[in-house]
Structure 1
Amino acid sequence: MQIAYRAKDITEAHIVAGLLKANDIETYVGGDYLQGAMGEIGAAGFSNIHVEDEDFYSARQVITEYEASSRVTLAKNSDESKPDSYARWFLLVLAVLTLIWLNL
């Protein structure tokens, strides 16, 4: 078996493993129990997806498509910074009103 993908966390590992299984590629997700040793801390870097040697090339193709679609989704969502700007303006107005109220 070879490591086809190193996920950032166990949730992503199972998502990618499900994607591979949907494409008839048998997988093994390693690192399930290693993350439990970290407690409440979000442990990263322990989750690996293993595939058989003969499935490695096709698994990497599916994973490459997954990674490309993730980048496209992140690029589309980059325009969603407006809630942050609204929050900044709200806090600025709130601070100005507080200063005015304190000076009265």
Structure 2
Amino acid sequence: MQKIYEPQNLLEGELLLGMLASEGVQAHLTGEHLLGAAGELPIFGLLGISVDNDQAEHARALITAYNAALPVSGDEPDNFPDVLVC
């Protein structure tokens, strides 16, 4: 098992776990229980997404594609251009 990505926050970590699971990649979020001790621990590097060694390259490619995705043109409302409302 190896750490392949450090999400910026718990929300991003959970979203990426769901995306990876939907693509058949079993991933684990590490460090989520350490967030409550943020005053005692360093701010960065607490969270990590880990996958099995044989799925690491595929998972990295999926995360890269996910982070590079842009909203589909026409999905944003007229009063908020360039903002995707979910």
Asked if TM exceeds 0.5, the reply is yes
Q: Secondary structure at the match of 1:33?
A: helix
Identify unmatched segments of 5+ residues in structure 2. Answer: none
Tell me, yes or no, if the aligned pair for 1:31 and 1:46 is still in contact at 8 Å: yes
Q: Distance in 2 between matches of 1:78 and 1:47?
A: 33
Q: Does 1:18 align with 2:18?
A: yes
Other-structure match for 1:99: none
**Which sections of structure 1, spanning at least 5 residues, go unmatched?**
81-104
Larger helix percent: 1
Give, in whole Å, the separation in 1 of the partners of 2:35 and 2:11: 11
Q: How far is 1:45 from its partner?
A: 3.4
Preserved CA contact (<8 Å) 1:4 1:48: yes
Q: Is the 8 A contact 1:20 1:62 kept in 2?
A: yes
Structure 1 match to 2:52: 52
1:78 deviates by 8.1
Partner SS, residue 62 of structure 2? helix
- The TM-score with structure 1 as length reference comes to 0.61
Q: For 1:44-94, what per-residue CA distance to the aligned partner results, in whole angstroms no more than 9, with x for missing partners?
A: 53111000000001101110111101xx35xx98857xxxxxxxxxxxxxx
Tell whether 2:18 aligns with 1:28: no
- Map of 2:66 onto structure 1: 66
Aligned length, in residue pairs: 73
Max Rg structure = 1
TM superposition outliers: structure 1 runs of 4+ over 4 Å: 76-80
Distance change (3 Å), C-alpha of 1:51 and 1:37: same
Give the 3 Å change call, closer, same or farther, for CA 66–79 of structure 1 in structure 2.
Answer: closer
Identity %: 29
